[in-house]
């Protein structure tokens, strides 16, 4: 069931909501026996897309249109259609959509560009507001965070001389996707200098993500932990 209200207070992890329709509120107990029923809260973002977001969106779409041979409007319509279908999103206009939708659409476009290694006039890193999201997208698509070319997984933390990278515990390592040229540069100049130059960082991935991205298997995790836990 759905009901509409307004958040009146946020205190740590606790949120107080004033419900507009008392009848809907009263129905909660009749449809759910749980003392603490689960809820899915959707906050309406009334902030309009910023000029910077709009410029970023069209810049990415322009690079895509050049790559695929579409006009800019054709590329925009194609990518918005994919966005609606993939993200189960409502239709929107880049002229007056909200900031959250614009940010999500930009992330969607960037991941598409990374997946298909679409050449871009500017590093994709300059378009992404959330650095952690971009680092993950690059690892997922094996796309260099600097130039967008095909990449390998680079360990920000040293693996150690003589150790086999295939058997290392990646759960304890900060990872980043780098092409061979930038991988070599990171080794040559050292990570602190490299990170400061390009404004990037390594991220840790949870076990499920490591398995899903083919970086480390659950079997290897169990061998390291000395367990026989069955992972579904």
For the stretch 35-44, pLDDT in tens is 677 777 777 7
Residue 37 to residue 31: CA distance in whole angstroms: 10
Per-residue pLDDT at 224 = 84
Q: Which sign does the torsion angle of CA 146, 150, 155, 160 carry?
A: negative
- Which comes out higher in pLDDT, residue 97 or 232? 97
Per-residue pLDDT at 114 = 87
Contact status, residue 28 vs residue 37, Cβ threshold 8 Å: yes
pLDDT tens per residue across span 73-119: 999 999 999 999 999 999 999 999 999 999 999 999 999 998 888 88
Residue 209 to residue 86: CA distance in whole angstroms: 20
Residue 157 to residue 175: CA distance in whole angstroms: 8
CA angle 73, 77, 78 (to 5 degrees): 115
Among 104-113, 120-129, 140-149, the least confident range: 120-129
Alpha-carbon distance values, 58 to 75, 102, 141, 165, 216 (Å): 10, 11, 22, 41, 37
Alpha-carbon distance values, 49 to 46, 103, 175 (Å): 9, 9, 32
pLDDT tens per residue across span 1-30: 677 778 888 888 888 888 777 666 666 666
Residue 40 to residue 168: CA distance in whole angstroms: 39
Residue 141 burial (C-beta neighbours within 10 Å; 0-12, 13-18, 19+): buried
Which residue ranges make up each domain of the chain? Answer: 1-43, 47-129, 131-232
* pTM for this model (two decimals): 0.69
């Amino acid at each position: 069931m759905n009901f509409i209200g307004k958040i009146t207070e946020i205190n740590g992890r606790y949120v107080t909501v004033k419900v507009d329709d008392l009848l809907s509120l009263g129905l909660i107990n009749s449809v759910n026996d749980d003392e603490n029923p689960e809820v899915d809260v959707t906050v309406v973002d009334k902030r309009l897309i910023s000029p910077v977001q709009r410029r970023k969106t069209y810049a990415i779409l322009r690079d895509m249109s050049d790559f695929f041979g579409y006009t800019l409007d054709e590329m925009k319509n194609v990518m918005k259609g994919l966005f609606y279908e993939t993200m189960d999103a409502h239709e929107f206009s880049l002229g007056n959509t909200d900031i959250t939708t614009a940010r999500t659409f930009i992330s969607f476009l960037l991941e598409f560009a990374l997946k298909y290694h679409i050449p871009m006039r500017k590093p994709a890193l300059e378009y992404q507001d959330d650095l952690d999201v971009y680092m993950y997208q690059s690892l997922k698509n094996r796309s260099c965070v600097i130039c967008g070319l095909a990449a390998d997984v680079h360990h920000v933390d040293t693996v150690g001389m003589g150790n086999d990278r295939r058997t290392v515990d990646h759960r304890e390592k900060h990872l980043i996707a780098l092409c061979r040229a930038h991988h070599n540069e990171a080794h040559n100049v050292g990570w602190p200098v490299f990170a400061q130059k390009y404004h990037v960082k390594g991220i840790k991935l949870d076990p499920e993500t490591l398995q899903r991205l083919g970086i480390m298997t659950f079997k290897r995790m169990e061998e390291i932990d000395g367990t026989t836990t069955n992972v579904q």
